[in-house]
Structure 1
């Protein structure tokens, strides 16, 4: 009679040092010291958030948490603290909620594999989460989530929805569901509303200042007479502002296809063509090139 497997549903955090082998080849002593310092940070935060380290292997490890919220908080706090330290060693983190097999102190199974695949797809210093984690945390944490679309992690047979946590903006904060919500702008994503920290949006005074400048330019143009020119500096200011804040306003379904900044540039080119209309839609050429490059990068970035 075969031995019965012990399973449990848990949130898995997979972390791994990016470029560790190369860093060891460059400066072994310093890299090893940075790795140990980073592990101390992870151990402290994992314990603080009620988790435990399950599997370790060289420069990476697997931790599990009874709460998806705590695991996500731990991941972001770790990246933020690591980002304030000197050193070149950066970590990738993936978080997934799934069923795992318990083998002593270790965890194995598809749940662990998916967390590890998300980790390998993350940018150094970044955090990727699965749909299962997003469903649990998006209404409980005041952070930004960027939907990256459905990806096929290596060695998996199906595509999985992947979300990147926007954690690099100043003013990052957590909000538990029981706490009063701060004023925020909602972004529609998969028919859910996600919270974006107020500091990720343009400050009200900046919007007011831009509106006053635009109004002043229009007024000066009207008073001085002659040809209409105010739209050019207004377009320039709007383009700069769009490049700065576009990720918070471009719908995720569009930004999953083309980067938000590319969408802003396309809009600016179209408006320049319209404002300087000479009977020929020349902007179609650079816009077409940007779309082709954007789609090409998206296709090439898909895991094999």
Structure 2
């Protein structure tokens, strides 16, 4: 019996967000756009020494021998597709979600298998539209080598993976953002001068802004049940605030069932799911 070949590789998985809705709205236009965007991805993959392993439906699996090349290729793909989408109406924009993992893979002919591939596919599923999600193994390799920003999103429970996966979102823009105009530069200078005289206020505001952004990214990556519970609790709190202020905190009682559901899902439900499906592979 021939021994299965293995190797360490960076795996990129990408698919189109809300592809079914795009096809339902305009089959011919969506298919033409998918072919054009795949052509862009193929060209950029070749330029970064990657190999397209498989394509089915709207999904793509790409293998790289270099982690930095994989991440840079993903950034180039999202930037190029973002430019193309900017020329289209919102309803026709085709946005890809990308997940990248570094792991051990099994090789059979031109196909690849294993947890290294599975984790990349699950990261892609929780990536935001037009975004890139990295595993801890990828982040460790590129954090000091690339001029990019990264937002830690903490451990995520993903389908068919027993242990939580530490995740990081690539902060797109940064060095590739358009240069500010002279007027906007002046506004920035005025703002800097104003906040310089209020360092405590500026620091507190930045902390709040960063906390809000982290919470928003975390919530976006959660399952729909979690987002629904958080939304309803927030709704009752805002309604309490508008009707009674904070003198009477009645929002606690209608929020209690949703809070219990939220705690169960985060602390119990996911654990049970991972225990009952430890060996299931793929969809």
Counterpart position of 1:171: 175
What is the Cα deviation at residue 132 of structure 1? 0.3
Deviation of 1:256 (Å): 7.8
For the residues of structure 1 that align with 2:215 and 2:93, how far apart are their CA atoms? 33
What whole-Å deviation, never above 9, does each CA across 1:174-203 have from its counterpart, x for those lacking one?
A: xxxxxxxxxxxxxxxxxxxxxxxxxxxx95
Offset from partner CA, 1:155-174 (integer Å, 9 cap, x none): 1111110111111x44338x
Q: Distance between the aligned counterparts of 1:140 and 1:252, measured in 2? A: 25
1:20 CA displacement = 1.0
Q: Is the 8 A contact 1:94 1:129 kept in 2?
A: yes
Residues 199-241 of structure 1 show CA distances to partners (whole Å, capped at 9, x for unaligned) of xxx95663223335x69xxxxxxxxxxxxxxxxxx97x998x6
Q: 2:195 aligns with which of 205, 210, 214?
A: 210
> Structure 1: how far apart are the matches of 2:212 and 2:103?
29
Q: How many residues align?
A: 228
Cα distance, 1:255 vs. partner?
Answer: 8.1
TM-score norm. by structure 1 comes to 0.63
| Aligned-partner Cα distance in 1 for 2:261–2:215 | 15
**What 5-or-longer segments of structure 2 have no aligned partner?**
178-186, 221-244, 274-283
1:246 corresponding residue in structure 2: 209
For the residue of structure 1 that corresponds to 2:160, the secondary structure is coil
Shift of 1:21: 1.6
Q: Name the TM-score, length of structure 2 as normaliser.
A: 0.67
Distance 1:298 1:206, change over 3 A: farther
Q: Does 1:83 align with 2:82?
A: yes
Question: RCO greater where, 1 or 2, for CA within 8 Å and sep 6 or more?
Answer: 2
Gaps of 5+ in 1: 174-201, 216-233, 260-280
Whole-Å Cα distance in 1 between the matches of residues 149 and 263 of structure 2? 21
Q: Which residue number in structure 2 is paired with residue 11 of structure 1?
A: 10
Q: 1:162 aligns with which of 161, 167, 180?
A: 167
The answer to whether the Cα contact below 8 Å between 1:257 and 1:294 also exists between their aligned partners in 2 is no
What's the Cα RMSD here?
Answer: 4.0
Are 1:120 and 2:119 an aligned pair? Answer: no
Contact 1:13 1:62 in 2 (8 A): yes
* Contact 1:100-1:111 at 8 Å conserved across structures: yes
